[in-house]
Amino acid sequence: MKHRLAVNPIACTGHGICAEMLPELIGLDEWGYPILAERDVPHELAALSRRAVRLCPTLALRLEASNAERRVPTGGDRGADRTARPR
Amino acid sequence: MTRHGGVAAPSGHRGDLLGLSGRLTAGWQDSDQAARLSGHLDRYGPPPQHGSGRAGTLIDAVTQAGLTGRGGAGFPTGVKMRSVASRRGRAVVVANGMESEPASEKDKALLARAPHLVLDGAVLAATSIGAGTVHLCVPRSRQWLMTIAADAVAERERAGFDPVKIEVHGLPQHYVSSEETSIVRWLNGGDARPTAVPPRPFEKGVGQRPTLLDNVETLAHIALIARFGPAWYRQAGLADAPGTMLTTVSGAVQAPGVYEIEVGTPIADVLAMSGASPEAGSLLIGGYFGTWHDRQDVAGLAMASTGLRPVGASPGAGVLVVLPPDACGLGETARVLAWLAGQGAGQCGPCVFGLPAIADDFAQLASGRPRGPALDRLDRRLSTVFGRGACRHPDGAVRLARSALAAFATDVKSHVSRRVCVSARTGQQPRPGGVLPIPGPTDREIWR
C-alpha cells in the first residue's frame, strides 16, 4: 500500500527533526515548520519515514494511506468551497 | 445592540409562493420582534408530525430539494444528514448561530425574527436522523440574542411542542469559534478552538456521537422543505442551486441590510435592490474569507456557487460589500488581514507566524512604504501558508489577500512605485476610518 506523510499542525511545534532526517520529502518554512512533499513515500525512503514518525517529539508526524482522501461532509461557518480540497 | 434593524423587505423575487412576501423573511416587515410560537404557526402552519416512524422521508425531501449549507461551505445538506443517520449510535444536532463573519448579519436577523423556524428545522432534522438533543450555539457576547433563543425554547417547552431536548449555549466569540470543530470541542468541555480532522463531527462529534452540525439558516430551510416539499422549494432559485438565500449587503449602498433573494439572482439585481452607488467599482463577495472583484466582471453573474465559480468566487455566507468609490481596496484589505492575523486560534505554527507576516507585508504595500521586495515576499508567504492549518483560517486570509492583489493590481503598482493611492479617485486621501467593519477587541485568552 502506498503511504504519504501527514502532519497534525496543532501538535507540531517546529522541532524540525523530521526535515533533518528526510530532506527529500520534508522542507521547512521560514518559521521552522515542516512543508511536506505532496507525493507518496518512495520505497527507498519508507524505513526512514517510519523512523521520522517515531522520533517526532510531539507525535505530530504520521504516515497515512495515500488513498485516504474522500469527499466527506464539511461545514461550520464561512470558508468558501471547503469541499474543493478534502483532507 | 440589536443590529438587525437594517433588515429590508425582500423585493424582486417570487416571494408570493406562500402567499407571503418572502419565505424565511415572511412577516419581517410587519414586525421587528421575534415571532411568538402562535404567530409562527399562523404564518407557516404546523410542522409535519414528529417521529411518525417515517424516518428518512425528510432526508429524501431535503436531498431532492437540493438544499446546500448556508454557513459558507455549501455542502449538500441531504448528503450530510444521511451520513450522520447511517453512523452507529444516537446522533446529536447542533445549530450553528455563531455568525462570526463581521460583514454578515443574516443569522442574527433570522434568529431575532424567526427563532421558531430555526428550531422547527433543528427538531425535524433531529427526528429524521434519530437524534435526541439539539444544541443551539450563539456567541455569549450577544446576550440579547441568547435571550430571544432561550425565550423561544421555553415557549416550546411549556407547550410540550418538541419530542427532543433543546439546549441554548453561549460560546466565546472569536472568528474561528464558529468553525464546526470549535463548537464540538466546546460542547465537549474544551476550548472553542478548531481541532485537527479527522474525525469529523459527522463521524465523532458531541459526546463522541455522530453529529449533524448545520448553520441556522440551513435548518430554517429544512423547516420549510418539511412543510411544503422539495418541488415547492425548487420553484425558487436555479435548477442546480435551488431555493432562496439570505444575503447581507453593505458598504456603498442606500439600503444596507439582510435580503432574502432567490439563489442565483444576478449580482446586478442585488446591487440595484440595495441601491448601490453607481460610481462604486469593486465588490467583496463572500466576506472576510472571500474575494474582491471588479464590479463589471461579476455584475452579470448569478449569486450562487455555480455562478461565481468561473471567477474564483463563492457566496460564502451570502455576503456582498460594495467598496465606496473613494475607498482604497488595498487599505481595506490590510485592515482585515491585520484583524484576521489576530483572530487565529494560536495553535498552528504556519498561521501563528504566517498571518502576522502576511498582514505586515500587506500593510507595507498599502501604505506605499514597502521595505525591500515586499510584493515578492508576500507572494511567497501566501503560497507557503495556504493549506497548512488545522482549519481554513489561513486559507481564507490567503484567498482574500490574493484576490485583492489581482483586483487592485493597478493600485498595487502605483502604491509601490509612485507611493500614491489612485483608488482615491477624487484625488483626495482614502477615507479615514475604513469601510469594512473590524470588531472590537475580544479577550484572546478566553476560549472556554
Q: Do A12 and B348 touch (CB under 8 A)?
A: yes
3-class SS shares of chain A: helix, strand, coil, % to 5 = 25, 20, 55
The mean per-residue pLDDT over the stretch B132-149 comes to: 96
pLDDT band at B11 (very low <50, low <70, confident <90, very high): very low
List, in sequence order, every residue forming a beta bridge with B294; answer none if it has no partner: B282
Confidence (pLDDT) at B432: 60
d(CA B393, CA B313): 17
The whole-number average pLDDT for the span B367-390 is 90
Determine whether the interchain pair A80/B99 forms a contact, defined as Cβ–Cβ distance below 8 Å: no
CATH dotted code for B243-323: 3.10.20.600
Q: How confident is the model at residue B2 (pLDDT cuts 50, 70, 90)?
A: very low
- B-interface mutation test, from A18, A77, A82, A83, most B Cβ less than 10 A away: A77
Region B129-141: mean pLDDT is 96
Residues B293-300, mean pLDDT to the nearest whole number: 96
* pLDDT at B399 exceeding the cut of 70: yes
The Cα–Cα gap between B17 and B269 comes to: 20
pLDDT score for B98? 97
Average pLDDT over residues B224-246: 95
Assess B73–A contact: CB distance below 8 Å, yes or no: yes
CA distance to partner chain B, nearest, from residue A7 (Å): 9
Place of cell 464561512: A78
Could you report the per-residue pLDDT of B336-350, keeping only the tens digit for each? 999 999 999 999 999
Q: For testing the chain A interface, which of B59, B105, B289, B382 should be mutated: the one with the most A CBs within 10 Å?
A: B289
Tell me the pLDDT band of B423, cut-offs 50, 70 and 90.
Answer: low
- Closest Cα in chain A to B184: A76
- Shortest Cα–Cα distance, A35 to chain B (Å): 8
pLDDT score of B367: 82
A73, B195: Cβ pair inside 8 Å? no
The pLDDT value given to residue B370: 79
Residue B313 at interface with chain A, using a CB cutoff of 8 Å? yes
pLDDT in tens, B166-190: 999 999 999 999 999 999 999 999 9
Q: What ipTM does this complex have?
A: 0.84
Question: Would the pLDDT of B16 be above 90?
Answer: no
Domains and CATH numbers, chain A: 3-67 (3.30.70.20)
More confident residue, A30 or B422: A30
**Measured between beta carbons, which residues in chain B are less than 8 angstroms from residue A72?**
83, 198, 200, 202
Interface of B with A in 226-255 (CB under 8 A): none
To the question of domain B19-235 being in CATH 3.40.50.11540, the answer is: yes
Is the model's pLDDT at B368 over the cut of 90? no
Chain B residues in contact with A80 by the CB 8 A cut-off are 72-74, 286, 289-291, 313-316, 396, 399
pLDDT at A81: 37
Q: How confident is the model at residue B277 (pLDDT cuts 50, 70, 90)?
A: very high
Distance set, CA A56 to CA A3, A8, B26, B351 (Å): 17, 11, 57, 20
DSSP H helices, B159-266, are 180-187, 216-233
DSSP B207: G
The structural domains of chain B, with segments of one domain joined by +, span 19-235, 243-323, 329-417
Q: What is the pLDDT of residues B212-233, one digit of tens each?
A: 999 999 999 999 999 999 999 9
pLDDT band per the 50, 70, 90 thresholds, residue B420: low
- Distance (Å, whole) CA B374 – CA B379: 8
Does pLDDT of B410 surpass 70? yes
Q: Which of A26, A33, A56, A78 to mutate to test the interface with B (most CBs of B within 10 A)?
A: A78
> B73, A85: Cβ pair inside 8 Å?
no
Task: Give the pLDDT of residue B32.
Answer: 77
Cβ of residue B211 closer than 8 Å to a chain A Cβ: no
Say if the Cβ atoms of B392 and A73 lie within 8 Å: no
The CA distance from B121 to A19, in Å, is: 49
Q: What is the mean pLDDT of residues B194-215?
A: 93
Q: How confident is the model at residue B352 (pLDDT cuts 50, 70, 90)?
A: very high
Residues of A in contact with B196 (CB under 8 A): 8-11
* Stretches in chain A below the pLDDT threshold 70: 68-87
Task: Could you please state the CATH topology (level 3) that the domain comprising B329-417 is classified under.
Answer: de novo design (two linked rop proteins) (1.20.1440)
What residues does B92 pair with on adjacent strands?
Answer: B211
CB contact under 8 A, B384 and A35: yes
Q: What is the pLDDT of residue B56?
A: 58
Contact (CB, 8 A) for B363 and B338: yes
The answer, for B361 touching chain A at a CB cutoff of 8 Å, is no
Q: Which residues pair with B276 in a beta bridge?
A: B253
Q: pTM for this structure?
A: 0.90
Distance of residue A26 Cα from the nearest chain B Cα, in angstroms: 13
Residue B353 and residue A35: Cβ atoms within 8 Å?
no
pLDDT of residue B316: 94
For residue B127, pLDDT over 80 is answered with yes
Q: How many CB pairs under 8 A join A and B?
A: 133
pLDDT confidence of residue A69: 52
Asked if A10 and B196 come within 8 Å (Cβ–Cβ), the reply is yes
Portion of chain B with pLDDT greater than 90, in percent: 78
Residues of chain A with C-beta less than 8 angstroms from the C-beta of B101? 77-78
The nearest CA of chain B is from the CA of A36 a distance in Å of 10
Q: B286 and B316 in contact (C-beta within 8 Å)?
A: yes
- Supply the pLDDT for residue B417: 75
Residues from A contacting B (CB-CB < 8 Å) are 8-14, 29-33, 35, 72-83, 85, 87
Decide: helix, strand or coil at residue B131: strand
Nearest-angstrom CA–CA distance, B47 and B123: 10
Listed range (B13-22, B42-51, B109-118, B404-413) with the worst mean pLDDT? B13-22
Q: State mean pLDDT over B96-102.
A: 96
The answer to whether the CB of A7 falls within 8 A of the CB of A36 is yes
Mean pLDDT, residues B192-210 taken together = 92
Contact B349 A12 (CB under 8 A): yes
- Closest partner CB to B316 (pick from A33, A73, A80): A80
* Alpha carbon of A29: minimum distance to chain B alpha carbons (Å): 7
Among chain A residues, CA nearest to B176: A77
- Cβ-Cβ contacts under 8 Å for B256 (sequence gap 6 or more): B6, B249, B250, B274
Q: Name the pLDDT band for B419 (thresholds 50, 70, 90).
A: low
State pLDDT tens for residues B353-364: 999 999 999 998
Q: With 90 as the cut, is the pLDDT of residue B373 above it?
A: no
**Residue B73 to residue A82, Cβ atoms within 8 A:** yes
Compare all CA atoms of chain B with the CA of A8 and give the residue at the minimum distance.
B196
pLDDT in tens, B31-81: 778 999 999 999 999 998 754 444 559 999 999 999 999 998 899 999 999
Alpha helical stretches, state H, B162-288: 180-187, 216-233, 267-273
